[in-house]
Structure 1
Amino acid sequence: MSSNSPDLFSDVLADLLAPLAQALVAQGMTLASATEALKQALCNAAIVAEGEGVSDSRISILTGLHRKDVRRLRSHEPVVPGRKTANRMALLIGHWATDPDFQGQDGRPRALPRESADERPAFNDLVRRLRLDMAPGSMLQALIDQGAVFQDEDGLLHLASDALVPEVGAQELVAAYHATLATHMAAATQNLLAQKGARRQFDRVLRYSHLSDASVAELDRLARDEAQSFLTRLNARAHELQQRDAEHGARGRFAAGAYILPTPDAAEKDAE
């Protein structure tokens, strides 16, 4: 990286932090809690860059953290209450909605019994397949409490139609924000820090301006349809491979995502 990279990075830092700051304010996080999280992240980053044996003094020099803070931060991992449960629920909902074994002939997630009375897999089978390290009964209750699943008069379990779009503030929404943004940031940061000739992660974006609201809406629909189709196909194949590889103790990870940001004409909106 060039010698003026810090200055270049400072120029864009405010833009990078702006949407994150909006989320912090919306979630009720103060400067003190945000600063503590940043301190932990800087300490962790220095350890990753220098190795586990790096001294507290070296971390302090690299990050500007006081050595007392470094000693404290190295002694514990921050815990986010509810994150594991929320991530598990999001994973289960995603598989229920897209796995062919749990879909009806119309391609929609079918109603599931708790235990299977025939050859078709049931809710408990779904929990076991995903290896969620959580009892099916506990997972079901968590989903019901969040309004993601409801039980009909016949005892069948239904995935709520809006389960994939959690309410504002729900743990699932925070978990989805964490999973998608953290993964994208990791890929983009690897590309930023990659040495010349090193393999770079695939990270592309299309940007167009001077579009009418109708054109923005058309591109939005097209992008959503194509992205959903791609992710559905990829998910089906990834699930097959995971089922096969997990039996052999494989530990590799893979992530792929898509984002769409349509912005109608601001001038027209302001005039309304």
Structure 2
Amino acid sequence: MGDKLKEAVEKIFQPLAKLLIKAEITYGEASDLLKVALVKTASEKLSQSNEQITDTRIHLITGVHRKDVRRIKEGEDSTPHTQSNGPITSQAFAKWLGDTRFQNSDGDPRPLCKKSSGTQEGFEELINSISKDVRPKAVLDEMLSRKMVVVNTRGLIEPSLENIIANQPADDAAKYLGMNIHDHLEVAVNNLSDTADKQLERCAHYFGLSESAAQELENFSKEIGMTALLKINEKAQALIRDPKNHGNWDTNFGVYSYKSKQATKKDAK
């Protein structure tokens, strides 16, 4: 591994270390998690190359002791893990924001009746279009309790966009953290390889700014980032409505904005 790549890995570990400390995950536990990831990834690599998967080969590739390799392999769940579509509340918001059946003429999410009214579909139809295994009233009660929606003076249900993320359950937030960081790293790592199938991974970064300029750029990034996410969601909802577009592929488009104060010699003391 080159020095620059080592520096990159060390930089990746820094926010991960913050997460481990916050979650009270010790070095020993983190080391075990890393061993599992190394063994599973090495096994997948050998399998894709149609090579024999042995404890010795995995040990030579990863440096993980053979007894640990054997323990990890024996403890693997043979049942295939399926990717869930996420909480039904999140799916409901995505459809509400992007499906024309639940939007007004301006393309904004339309306040919904509890049931369909005339030609307009209501909240019950929104939930039933996602799953008929859960009662719409139960979903509504959950969304009301988390202040994700409000009932206005006309008795219509409106989304409370500012509370979607703020009141997200810890387990849901952890799931999206794992998914988003995993997917971003997968793209970045794969793009380092000599492959023609490079995926989108770009950034615009600037140094030496004033605090006010950095804040202005962050605010602008949030504005155009949310616009991009809403446009992607509208396109996805239109595709999903056609059964011929259903299959076993996943896609993830994300945005983030990060700002920090550069450390000075005085700060470092």
Could you state the TM-score of these two structures normalised by the residue count of structure 1? 0.76
1:161–1:11 Cα change, 3 Å = closer
For the 8 Å contact 2:97–2:233, the answer to whether it is kept is: no
Identity %: 24
Counterparts of 2:151 and 2:26, CA distance in 1 = 39
Among residues 246, 249, 252, which one is paired with 1:255 in the alignment? 252
Shift of 1:235: 1.5
| Structure 1 counterpart of 2:59 | 60
Shift of 1:84: 5.2
Counterparts of 1:142 and 1:69, CA distance in 2 = 44
For the 8 Å contact 1:187–1:201, the answer to whether it is kept is: yes
| Structure 2 counterpart of 1:177 | 177
Code of the aligned partner of 2:29: S
Counterparts of 1:125 and 1:71, CA distance in 2 = 51
Aligned length: 257
Code of the aligned partner of 2:46: E
| Structure 2 counterpart of 1:90 | 90
For the 8 Å contact 1:115–1:124, the answer to whether it is kept is: yes
5+ residue gaps, structure 1: none
For the 8 Å contact 2:112–2:123, the answer to whether it is kept is: yes
Equivalent residues in 2 for 1:3-18, closer than 5 Å: 4-5=1-2, 7-18=3-14
Counterparts of 1:77 and 1:134, CA distance in 2 = 27
Counterparts of 2:17 and 2:168, CA distance in 1 = 17
For the 8 Å contact 1:27–1:169, the answer to whether it is kept is: no
1:229–1:162 Cα change, 3 Å = closer
For the 8 Å contact 1:89–1:139, the answer to whether it is kept is: yes
Code of the aligned partner of 1:260: S
Counterparts of 1:247 and 1:51, CA distance in 2 = 31
1:39–1:124 Cα change, 3 Å = farther
Secondary structure at the residue paired with 2:190? helix
Counterparts of 1:240 and 1:119, CA distance in 2 = 19
CA-atom RMSD in angstroms = 3.4
Shift of 1:117: 4.2
1:71–1:122 Cα change, 3 Å = farther
For the 8 Å contact 1:94–1:164, the answer to whether it is kept is: no
Counterparts of 1:73 and 1:149, CA distance in 2 = 44
Could you state the TM-score of these two structures normalised by the residue count of structure 2? 0.77
